[in-house]
Amino acid sequence: MSAPYVEEVKELLIRSLDLQGRSPSDIDEQAPLFGEGLGLDSLDALQIAMAIEEEFGVAVPDGEEAKPLFRNVASLAAYIASRRGESA
Amino acid sequence: MSVAPRVAVTGVGLVCSVGRGWRRAFGLLCEGRRGFEPLSLFSTEGYPVRFAAEVPALELGPGLGRSRSEALALLAAGEALAQAGLAGEGLRGAELVVAASTGGMYETELLLSALHRDGKASYDPAALRCHPISAPAEWVHERLGPFGRVRTVCSACAGGAVALGLGAARVRAGAAEAVLAGGVDALSRLTFAGFSSLGSLDAEPCRPFDRSRRGLSLGEGAAFFVLEPLERARSRGARVLGELAGYAAACEAHHITQPEPEGATVGRVVAAAIAAAGLEPRAIGYVDAHGTGTPLNDATEAAALARVFGGGAGGPHISSQKGQIGHTLSAAGAIEAAVAFAALDEQRVPPTAGLSEPEEHAPLRFVRGAAEAAPLGAVLSNSFGFGGSDASIVFAREGLADPAPPPAAPELWVTGYATIGPRGFRRGEGGYGAPGEAGSPVPDPKGWLDPNRSRRLDRPALFGAALAEAALGEAGLEAGATTGLVAGGAYGSPSSSAAFLSRVELKGPRFAPPAEFPNLVPSSPGAHAAIYSRLRGPSFSVSEGAATSLAALSAAADVLCDGQAEAVVALACEAASPLVEAVVAPACSVVGPGPRGEGGAAFVVERSEAARRRGARPRARLVGVEVWPGAGAERPGWCTRSSRAERARVVALYAERAPSAWLEALGWAGVALVEVGPQTGWHEAGLALAVAEALDLIGRGQIDEALVVDRSARRVGLALLRRP
């Protein structure tokens, strides 16, 4: 069983970034989001931040502060969990 | 052999937030005036940034314009023509090129958003006539013309420069007595929400090239130039203010919003524009930089400028006006060209407001604080847009530059094509088969493209990318730096824009989806296609209502004739859109009896010598293609029929738009007419499918030549294709 919000974040990525033909099980929660790994870019990061705020009511910082959060699915899920007071 | 005309500037007009009038605004810019105020045009509730560079006291009305874009365009265009001493019937041999991205968006966005939520909401169809990006050009034509030819181009934030480059190309080709060329854009909720969603807006008025810069600021305005052959300007006694001596454009083909690292293409374009003027980089005394104030743009532009000019005190003066008038999008290229040209004319360079500490890695000669007097022989203006469209213009004092003439007038070949319509997706000849299939669903192009590289593309962009890729494959052409792209799109994506606006209204600006905004820029289908196929020549879009497809082919021919590219992918595509179908098209362009369809076609058009060099075979010769305003009294010399009637066809989208009296006047009486609308559906890219039908008939050996025709009350379009 994965940590809280990991499955939800995977589904959010697939839906909000239109990752065609991918299912949550295809996404490794430890794989880097950018460059090698999922191959996302800065425009995706903005879209993810908006979608997380909309879906979880959690504001995502931008700039340097955001970098560690956007490492991978697990880091995003942990951030959402911590902001919602439900740490794993 | 006659020498190619040099391009004289005989008039300039400018409107921006700091002031109206070219010289007056330049004076205020030199004083360091900054034109930012809290937005009055719409509510900025929920936005982190609440100011912009609005043009004050713009009173709309039947005299000035139905939209702010129309009014801004009319003011600047009128000033330029008055300075050049051209008016009314004296413009019959003149042409108009207008760059625009927003059109009447500000005026129509609340209506579109309401109609998106409730399709039965009542509205006045006439209110939509100012909506298309082609409306400002039509307005200027109507109020200040008539012009012999009217074009609207979109290349996002590089558009104004692209319009000047196309205008200059027509003068160099000896095709126009004069060209009024420029750009316009008005502020709108859509662009404000969009740039805000991208995190691109600086909380303070922007600070181009400053170490602390955080983004851009938005503005609005317009600028126009009168360009004409130098000899003609002299002979009619016009005052020659200087010359448009060099122009170059290219596409980075890198990313829809991010600039290429290190600005490789920017450097290539700057160097190419200087070389086109026959000058060395050291001859350039001033560079009016694109300088938006975003961290990435300014870093890549500074890196490129340092490479071309060398860093330090020996290089040209550099400044940006965006800290004074904001980023005026499609107007920016024309406005900043007008500022650079004023600097040349008055021998002083304006400062960069907002710049106090340049970044250390940019040891360039930035003008800060106050304007500086400088002896200037030649100046350069840079413009870059979404999708990686880069353009540079060089102006020089009369007689100083040595512009390279355009290459000899080419024979143009179509070497490959592809279509999407109710019969599916197809490369080359195939035919539409049995009639009565207009209602068939058009296939989803996703399956033909790499899913990772196409995931951000909306339906018009998927059509564009699939068509361009297939046409290039059919032509056997490897993409490269000498292949450009011209995409025709009549209305952009009003349904997607309305959905975006509606979301902002209902949920607040924080929930404007950033990844969707780039697709709302009218040039985005073409930009996505150029990126997908790595086309690095000039890339832009055109919009001409029902005649958009032929206008795209015509603009491709202009680019090829000017030697800006060896091959151009000319494409037109339309995706079904409820708002276009129900609201915009009925008000702006009725193309046929319906039902409206979707789809389009792409054509690889090449200079024949370039095609021969690579051993390509022509599908057909593109003998001529033209779209012009009016009822079709003129008859271009090239449209003469050369084959027997039974070996020729007239091809139309809609037979009623090919009246027999007109065909007789064109010398095409008694030739069988093929109407493709019943098979393709009726839409603004339908004429591209008519051209494809002509190519099919020629390719199958059934005929020797075909004239594609379209005549409405407002415009006439013709294209002649002949067996090679």
pLDDT in tens, B583-615: 999 888 888 888 888 999 999 999 999 999 999
* SS3 assignment, position B570: strand
**To probe the interface with A, which of B196, B260, B510 has the most A CB atoms within 10 Å?**
B510
pLDDT average, residue stretch B326-340? 98
Q: What pLDDT sits at residue B203?
A: 97
Which residue among B446, B452, B511 sits closest to A39, beta carbon to beta carbon? B452
Q: Tell which residue, B405, B407, B437, has the closest CA to residue B423.
A: B437
Which residue among B256, B257, B513 sits closest to A50, beta carbon to beta carbon? B513
Q: Which residue has the tokens 């009314």?
A: B88
**How far B425 CA lies from chain A's nearest CA (Å)?**
21
How would you classify the pairing of strands B620-629 and B412-421?
antiparallel
The Cα–Cα gap between B130 and B122 comes to: 18
Res B377 pLDDT > 90: yes
Which residue among B258, B446, B513 sits closest to A20, beta carbon to beta carbon? B446
B118 touches B205 (CB < 8 A): no
* SS3 assignment, position B371: coil
**To probe the interface with A, which of B195, B296, B456 has the most A CB atoms within 10 Å?**
B456
Residues of B marked active site are found at 157, 290, 327
Q: Which residue has the tokens 């605004």?
A: B25
Contact between chains at B256 and A43 (C-beta distance less than 8 A): yes
The Cα–Cα gap between B8 and A57 comes to: 59
Please report the sign of the dihedral spanned by the C-alpha atoms of residue B408, residue B412, residue B415, residue B418: positive
Q: At B460, phi and psi to the nearest 5?
A: -60, -40
Q: How far is CA B99 from CA B137, B166, B243, B330, B494, in A?
A: 9, 10, 21, 6, 19
**Which residues, 6+ apart, have CB-to-CB distance to B346 below 8 Å?**
B23, B26
* SS3 assignment, position B251: strand
| A50 has a chain B CB within 8 A of its CB | yes
B578 touches B596 (CB < 8 A): no
Q: For residue A16, list chain B residues with Cβ-Cβ distance below 8 A.
A: 513, 515
**How far B28 CA lies from chain A's nearest CA (Å)?**
35
**How far A23 CA lies from chain B's nearest CA (Å)?**
14
In our burial notation (b when 16+ CB lie closer than 10 A, e otherwise), range B525-564 reads: bbbbbbbbbebbbbbbbbbbbbbbbbbbbbbbbbbbbbbb
Q: For residue B507, list chain A residues with Cβ-Cβ distance below 8 A.
A: 54
**How far B327 CA lies from chain A's nearest CA (Å)?**
20
Phi-psi region of B584 (alpha: psi -120 to 50; beta: other; left: phi over 0): alpha
Nearest CA in chain B to A62: B199
Which residue among A41, A43, A50 sits closest to B511, beta carbon to beta carbon? A50
Interior CA angle at B704 toward B703 and B709, to 5°?
Answer: 85
pTM comes to 0.96
**How far A32 CA lies from chain B's nearest CA (Å)?**
16
The Cα–Cα gap between B401 and B620 comes to: 39
The Cα–Cα gap between B439 and B441 comes to: 6
Res B423 pLDDT > 60: yes
DSSP H or E stretch at residue B571: strand B567-574
pLDDT band at B434 (very low <50, low <70, confident <90, very high): very low
Res B388 pLDDT > 70: yes
Amino acid at B48: P
Whole-number mean pLDDT of chain B? 94
Contact between chains at A50 and B257 (C-beta distance less than 8 A): no
> What is the tens place of the pLDDT at every residue in B527-571?
999 999 999 999 999 999 999 999 999 999 999 999 999 999 999
Q: What is the per-residue DSSP string for B79-125?
A: HHHHHHT--GGGGTTEEEEEEESSTTHHHHHHHHHHHHH-TT----G
Which residue among A43, A53, A62 sits closest to B257, beta carbon to beta carbon? A43
Q: Which residue has the tokens 């959402």?
A: A80
**How far B477 CA lies from chain A's nearest CA (Å)?**
28
Question: By a Cβ cutoff of 8 Å, what residues of chain B touch chain A?
Answer: 197-199, 255-258, 446, 451-452, 455-456, 507, 510-515, 518
- Bond into B146 cis (ω within 30): yes
Please list the residues that pair with B706 across neighbouring strands.
B649, B721
Contact between chains at B446 and A54 (C-beta distance less than 8 A): no
The separation between CA B254 and the C-alpha centre of its own chain, rounded to angstroms, equals 19
Q: What pLDDT sits at residue B654?
A: 96
Please report the sign of the dihedral spanned by the C-alpha atoms of residue B190, residue B192, residue B195, residue B198: negative
Q: Tell which residue, B546, B707, B689, has the closest CA to residue B636.
A: B707
pLDDT average, residue stretch B655-679? 95
How would you classify the pairing of strands B389-396 and B242-251?
antiparallel
**To probe the interface with A, which of B254, B257, B455 has the most A CB atoms within 10 Å?**
B455
pLDDT band at A21 (very low <50, low <70, confident <90, very high): confident
Q: What pLDDT sits at residue B292?
A: 98
| A61 has a chain B CB within 8 A of its CB | no
Q: Tell which residue, B698, B690, B683, has the closest CA to residue B719.
A: B690
Which residue among B197, B451, B511 sits closest to A54, beta carbon to beta carbon? B511
> What is the tens place of the pLDDT at every residue in B336-357?
999 999 999 999 999 999 999 9
**Which residues, 6+ apart, have CB-to-CB distance to B443 below 8 Å?**
B420, B424, B425
The Cα–Cα gap between B594 and B605 comes to: 30
Farthest-apart Cα atoms in chain B, separation? 73
Say how many CA atoms lie within 13 Å of B252 toward its Cβ.
26
Q: What pLDDT sits at residue B704?
A: 98
Q: What pLDDT sits at residue B430?
A: 55
Counted across chains A and B, CB pairs separated by less than 8 A come out at 43
Contact between chains at A46 and B197 (C-beta distance less than 8 A): yes
Contact between chains at B198 and A46 (C-beta distance less than 8 A): yes
Nearest CA in chain B to A54: B511
How would you classify the pairing of strands B378-385 and B284-288?
parallel
Q: What pLDDT sits at residue B17?
A: 98
Contact between chains at B511 and A53 (C-beta distance less than 8 A): yes
Which residue among A18, A46, A54 sits closest to B199, beta carbon to beta carbon? A46
The Cα–Cα gap between B569 and B395 comes to: 29
pLDDT band at B306 (very low <50, low <70, confident <90, very high): very high
Contact between chains at A43 and B513 (C-beta distance less than 8 A): no
DSSP state at residue B677:
H
| A41 has a chain B CB within 8 A of its CB | yes
B666 touches B711 (CB < 8 A): no
Please state the ipTM of this predicted complex.
0.92
pLDDT average, residue stretch B128-154? 96
B584 touches B132 (CB < 8 A): yes
| A42 has a chain B CB within 8 A of its CB | yes
Interior CA angle at B132 toward B570 and B489, to 5°?
Answer: 20
pLDDT band at A22 (very low <50, low <70, confident <90, very high): confident
Q: At B296, phi and psi to the nearest 5?
A: -75, -45
**For the ranges B213-227, B542-556, B563-577, B633-647, which has the lowest average pLDDT?**
B633-647
pLDDT average, residue stretch B128-134? 95
Say how many CA atoms lie within 13 Å of B43 toward its Cβ.
7
Res B632 pLDDT > 80: no
**How far B152 CA lies from chain A's nearest CA (Å)?**
29
**To probe the interface with B, which of A43, A44, A65, A70 has the most B CB atoms within 10 Å?**
A43
Q: For residue B257, list chain A residues with Cβ-Cβ distance below 8 A.
A: 43
**Structure tokens, B333:** 């290229």
Please list the alpha-helical segments (H only) found in B533-644.
548-561, 578-579, 585-588, 608-613
Which residue among B446, B507, B513 sits closest to A47, beta carbon to beta carbon? B513
Q: What pLDDT sits at residue B552?
A: 98
The more confident residue out of A85 and B309 is B309
**For the ranges B35-44, B247-256, B419-428, B619-628, which has the lowest average pLDDT?**
B419-428
A58 touches A52 (CB < 8 A): yes
Please report the sign of the dihedral spanned by the C-alpha atoms of residue B659, residue B664, residue B670, residue B676: negative
Q: Tell which residue, B100, B368, B48, has the closest CA to residue B222.
A: B100
Q: For residue A43, list chain B residues with Cβ-Cβ distance below 8 A.
A: 198, 256-258, 456, 514-515, 518
Q: For residue A53, list chain B residues with Cβ-Cβ distance below 8 A.
A: 510-511
- Bond into B595 cis (ω within 30): yes
pLDDT band at B1 (very low <50, low <70, confident <90, very high): very low
Interface of A with B in 66-85 (CB under 8 A): none
Q: What pLDDT sits at residue B700?
A: 94
**How far B390 CA lies from chain A's nearest CA (Å)?**
20
Please list the alpha-helical segments (H only) found in B422-563.
451-454, 459-475, 494-507, 517-520, 524-532, 548-561
In chain B, the percentage of residues whose pLDDT exceeds 70 is 98
The Cα–Cα gap between B458 and B513 comes to: 14
**Structure tokens, B456:** 């951000």
Count of helices and strands (H, E) across chain B: 23, 27
Which residue among A43, A53, A54 sits closest to B515, beta carbon to beta carbon? A43
**How far A72 CA lies from chain B's nearest CA (Å)?**
18
Res A87 pLDDT > 60: no
Amino acid at B266: V
Contact between chains at B446 and A18 (C-beta distance less than 8 A): no
**Structure tokens, B172:** 């160099």
Q: What pLDDT sits at residue B270?
A: 98
Q: For residue A18, list chain B residues with Cβ-Cβ distance below 8 A.
A: 455-456
Q: Tell which residue, B721, B669, B717, has the closest CA to residue B697.
A: B721
The Cα–Cα gap between B516 and B503 comes to: 12
In our burial notation (b when 16+ CB lie closer than 10 A, e otherwise), range B448-468 reads: bbeeeebbbbbbbbbbbbbbb
The Cα–Cα gap between B582 and B114 comes to: 13
| A35 has a chain B CB within 8 A of its CB | no
Q: What pLDDT sits at residue B484?
A: 98
pLDDT average, residue stretch B410-430? 87
| Strand residue runs (E) in B370-511 | 372-373, 378-385, 389-396, 412-421, 424-427, 483-488
Contact between chains at A18 and B507 (C-beta distance less than 8 A): no
